[in-house]
Structure 1
Amino acid sequence: MTSTPPHPAQLIVELGFGFIVSGALAAVTELGVADRLVQGPKSAALLSEELGTDASSLYRALRLLASAGVFTEDAEGRFGLTPAAELLRSQTQGSLRDAVLMLTQNIFWAPTGELADTIRTGKTPFDRIFGKPFFDYLASDAAAGATFHRGMSSLSDLENGPIARSYDFSPFQKVVDIGGGHGGFLIEVLQSSPKIRGVLFDHAHVLAESRIARAGFADRCEHATGDFFQEVPAGADVYVLKRILHDWSDEVCVGILRNCRSAMAPGGRVLVVDTVIPPGNAPHGGKVLDVMMLASLPGRERTEAEFGKLFAQAGLRLSRVIPTPTAMSITEAVAET
C-alpha cells in the first residue's frame, strides 16, 4: 500500500520548515536527552531539572521531535525513547550522536543559510564567514575539528562493513586508505581479507585517535603521515579514497588521482568510495550531500561519466562501478595502458 503524496502546497511548506526539525534534533542531541531516558520515560520538567534547562522550551522541542518519530510522548506528557532516539544515546551500538552534532554544526549550517549567494556566484561563503577554507579552519579550531572527525567516524561506522564486503580484496596484498581517518573502513577490510596488509594514511593529529590497535590489527597495519596533495605511500595494490574526492574541485581531484597512479604497484587500482549520482528525479542521498558540498566546500558529488573524465585526466580508466547496500558506490579505476 503506497502513501498519498502531500498536496503541493503542503510539500513546499514542509520543506521550508525542515531546518526547524534539524535545529531541534541538534539541540536535544547536544543536551544529551536520550541518555537520560534509558531507564524509562520522563516528563520535560524532570528532564529539565537534570539537565539545567527551561522546562517549557524543552517540552516544545521534544513534542516536535516526537511528531517526527524521534521520541514518544505518552498521555501523561512523559517522553520516551524510540528506535530512532536510541541512536542519539552516547553509549550504544551504532550511535549517531556524534554524526548529528557534526552534520548540524555551524560549518555546514551557516553557509547553507547563504546558499542563494553561492548559486549566484558559484563560490562558497565559507572563507568569508570563517576566515579560511574548510579544512584549514578545522585544523585551526580544535573543538570544531574534533566534532567533525568524531562525527565522520560515527557516520562511517554505519556503512564501512557493508561497503568493505561489497568488494573482493582477497587477491591483493596491500591496501592504502588515503585520508582514512580513525581507520574504521580499513578495519573492516582487514577483517574481510585475513591475508591483506593495510596502511592508514592521514595527518598526525587525525591518526592520534586511530582505532587500528584497539581492533587488534596493529601487526597487519601501519600508520603513515603525509599530505595526499603531495604524494601517497608507494607500492600498494589498492588505494582507497573514501569520502575524499567529493570534497575537492575537479582539478584538485585529478592531482590526487595522479599521485595514486604514480604510487601504485603494477596491476594496482584505485577505489573511489563516494556517491554516484544516478539520472532521473528519484530521491538519492548523493543529491542532498551534493548541495551540502556546494554550500561549504569546493567539491561535489559526481555522476559515473564525471568520474570517468577525472580518471582519464589522471592516466586511469574507469573499469566498473560497484553498488553497495549504502548510498555509496565503489568506483574502480585501473591504469590506462
Structure 2
Amino acid sequence: MITALSDDTSRLRATVDFVTQQDSESLLPLLLPGLDGPELRALVERCRFAHAALLVFPVHALALEATLAECGLVTRTPPQPSVVVRERLALRHRRTADDLDVRILRPAVLGRDGHRRTVEVFALTVPPGSDLEEIAALELARHDEAHVAFEVQAPDPLVLRGLRASFAFHGALPDGGGYNPHENGTVFYFAAPTTSRAGYRRIELYAPGDHRCQLAAHLADFHRQQPPEALLRLLTGAWTTQALATAAQLRVPDAMETDRAVDAGALAGKVAADPDSLTVLLRYLASLGVVAEEAPGSFRLTALGALLRTEGPGSMRPLALLYGGPFYQSFAALAHTVRTGQVAFEYLFGAHHFDHFAADPRLAELFDQSMAANWRMFEPLPTHPVLTAAARKPRGATVVDIAGGNGELLSRILAAHPGLDAVLLERPHVVAAARRRLGGARCSYVAGDFADVPAGADVYLLCRVLHDWDDERCRDILRHCARAMPADADLLIVERLLPTDNSPSLATAWDLHMRCNVGGRERTADHYGRLLADAGLTLAGHRPLPLDGHVLHARK
C-alpha cells in the first residue's frame, strides 16, 4: 500500500523551499555547468525561473487538498487535465492514457527576490488497492516527472531555436514535450547534464502559445536518441554515404543554385537521371540538410550541398567520391581486418592502397584531390610561429614538405610568406601534378621516397603522413627527417590525436579507417612523443587545428 499522503507532504515542503530560494541567475549555472558571462545574461533575459514540479499520488481529491493546505499552498483555480505528463506516464508504464487521471495545480509562492513563482503539482489519483499503486511506487523511486521550469519571455521561432541550442551546447538532451490545448502552452523537456548540481534531472522550457513547429524539431531530436531509432539510424549510415556520393557522381550540385529552387524533373534532364528516383534522392538529401525542398518537387542547394560541387571554394566532392567508392568497398571487409589484423583494402584489391591508386591514373588523381580537399585542417598552419619565424630570417629560409601531395599546403604557406623557398618531396607521378599546381614559383621538386629527404632546410613538414604507417615505419621516416635536419631546424607534424579520455573525436573514426584501408593508425600525443624520441627528436608541444587536427612541433 502506498503511503502517499505523508510522503507527498514532505516532498511538497522541500519543493516549496527550493522555489523560494532560487532565481534564474542562480539556478541556470547549477543546471548547466559552464554557463556564465554574456551567455548566462542572455538566457536570464529570455527565460525566467517559473516553477519546480513534482508528481504526487493522492487517494482522492480531498486528500490532495489536505496535503496542499498542510504545506501552506493555496490554489484558487480548479485542477486542469494534464496532457503531457499523462501521455508520458502511459508510455512509460504501457497503459492507455484514459486509465490515468492526472491533473495539474499551480499554487503560488513568493521567492526571496520578491517574484511570484509556482509549485507545479501533478496529481495522479491512486485509489487504495488499485493497480495504480505499482505505478506510484515506481514513480516515487525514480522521480521522472520532477523538474524545474523556465518560462520563455516573448517566444518566437528564433528565440526558441536559440534556447534549445544553448541548452544542448551545455549538455542538456531533449527529453520529450508537448502542446497543451487546455492552456495553450508548449512544453520542451530536457534531461539535465550529468554534471548538473541543482538536484533535478529534468528541465522544462515553457512557451506560452502554440509552437508545435519548434516542438516537432525538438521531438525529432528526442526520438533520435531512443535506442531502437538511434540504432536504426546508425545502421543506415551507409545509405547516407552513398546518397552523397551519388549526388557528387551525377554532378547534381553543379546543376543547382543556392539562391533559387529548381524542379526535380527539369534537374533530372540536366543530369541524365530518372525523375522519380532523383526526387526520392533529393528528399533524402533534404533530410540531411544538403538541399532544401522549397515546394513539393522543387529543391534548392544549401551551403552544405555546395561543398559537393566540382568547382568552387573548398570543394569536398573528391572526398565524397573516394569515401563512396574504393574506401566504401573495402569497409565491407572490415570484419576481415578485425579478425586478422590485416588490411581489408589489400585483401579486397590485392595491393596497398598507394600502389593500387598509383596504377590507375584516374584513382591517383582522385586521391590527390581528396587529400587537397582536406585543406581546412591545415588552414591555420601558415601562421604557426615556426613558419613565421623562418620567414623573418634575413638570409631566407627553406621549407620541405615531405610527401606533400599536389602542393596544396605549400601553396598556402608560400602565399602567406613570400620570402620562403620550398621543396616538395613526392612520388614521381605526384610530382607531375604538383608542378602543374605550383609551377616554378620558389619551389623545387624531388621525386623520391622518405630516404630522399633533402638536408639543410629550416622547416620540415609531415602533414597526415605518419598515420599511414605502423610504428616501425614511422620510426624510419622520422630517422630520415632527423638525419636531414640541421641542429636548429624544426619539424611540424599534422595529424589527428586520439583523445586520452574517450571524448568524442574524429580521430577515433579515422583510427578505424586507417586500419581497414591503409594499414596505419591514429595515435595519442604521448605515442608520437615516444616515436620522436626513438628517432632522436623531442616533442616540443602541439596545437589544435580544425577538424580535430593538431600540429606537433619537434626539434633535435
Q: Do they fold alike, i.e. is TM over 0.5?
A: yes
Which runs of structure 2 are paired with 1:10-49 in the superposition (5 Å)?
10-38=229-257, 40-49=260-269
Distance 2:444 2:357 in 1: 25
The letter of the residue matching 2:336 is: D
Match of 1:226 in 2: 448
Q: CA deviation at 1:180?
A: 0.6
Structure whose alpha-carbon radius of gyration is higher: 2
Q: Is the 8 A contact 1:212 1:218 kept in 2?
A: no
Distance 1:122 1:219 in 2: 44
The letter of the residue matching 1:251 is: E
Q: Do structure 1's residue 165 and structure 2's residue 380 form an aligned pair?
A: no
The partner residue of 1:195 within 406, 413, 419 is: 419
The partner residue of 1:62 within 282, 290, 299 is: 282
The partner residue of 2:529 within 294, 308, 316 is: 308
Match of 2:302 in 1: 82
The letter of the residue matching 1:281 is: N
Q: Is the 8 A contact 1:254 1:314 kept in 2?
A: yes
Match of 1:128 in 2: 347
Tell me, what secondary structure is at the counterpart of 1:201?
strand
Q: Is the 8 A contact 1:160 1:188 kept in 2?
A: no
Q: Do structure 1's residue 277 and structure 2's residue 530 form an aligned pair?
A: no
Q: Is the 8 A contact 2:241 2:320 kept in 1?
A: no
State the 4+ residue runs in structure 1 displaced beyond 6 angstroms. Answer: none
Match of 2:466 in 1: 245
Q: Do structure 1's residue 208 and structure 2's residue 432 form an aligned pair?
A: yes
Uncovered stretches (5+) of structure 1, i.e. residues with no partner: none
Q: Is the 8 A contact 1:163 1:325 kept in 2?
A: no
Q: CA deviation at 1:212?
A: 7.5
Give TM-score scaled by structure 1 length: 0.92
Q: Do structure 1's residue 117 and structure 2's residue 336 form an aligned pair?
A: yes
Distance 2:349 2:487 in 1: 43
Distance 2:483 2:423 in 1: 17
Tell me, what secondary structure is at the counterpart of 1:24?
helix
Distance 2:272 2:284 in 1: 20
What does the per-residue CA deviation read over 1:13-42, in whole Å, with 9 as the maximum and x for residues that have no partner? 211111101110100111001111127322
Q: Is the 8 A contact 1:166 1:324 kept in 2?
A: no
Distance 2:386 2:548 in 1: 19
Q: CA deviation at 1:169?
A: 1.0
Q: Greater CA deviation, 187-196 or 16-25?
A: 187-196
Q: Is the 8 A contact 1:238 1:268 kept in 2?
A: yes
Q: CA deviation at 1:165?
A: 2.1
The partner residue of 1:299 within 496, 520, 530 is: 520
What does the per-residue CA deviation read over 1:183-242, in whole Å, with 9 as the maximum and x for residues that have no partner? 11112222333332211111221122226865xx834221221111x2311111211000
Q: 1:186 to 1:249 in 2, by over 3 A?
A: same
Distance 2:357 2:248 in 1: 21
Q: Greater CA deviation, 59-68 or 38-47?
A: 38-47
Match of 1:144 in 2: 363
Match of 2:479 in 1: 258
Q: Is the 8 A contact 2:333 2:348 kept in 1?
A: no
Match of 1:178 in 2: 402
What does the per-residue CA deviation read over 1:66-104, in whole Å, with 9 as the maximum and x for residues that have no partner? 011010112231111111111112222122112221222
The letter of the residue matching 2:290 is: V
The letter of the residue matching 2:313 is: Q
Distance 1:155 1:325 in 2: 10
Q: Is the 8 A contact 2:382 2:388 kept in 1?
A: no
Uncovered stretches (5+) of structure 2, i.e. residues with no partner: 1-166, 175-221, 391-396
Higher strand proportion (structure 1 or 2): 2
Q: Do structure 1's residue 91 and structure 2's residue 315 form an aligned pair?
A: no
The letter of the residue matching 1:31 is: L
Q: Is the 8 A contact 2:406 2:437 kept in 1?
A: no
CA RMSD of aligned residues (A): 1.8
The letter of the residue matching 1:250 is: D
Tell me, what secondary structure is at the counterpart of 1:235?
coil
The letter of the residue matching 1:90 is: T
Q: Is the 8 A contact 1:323 1:330 kept in 2?
A: yes
Q: What percentage of aligned pairs have identical amino acids?
A: 35
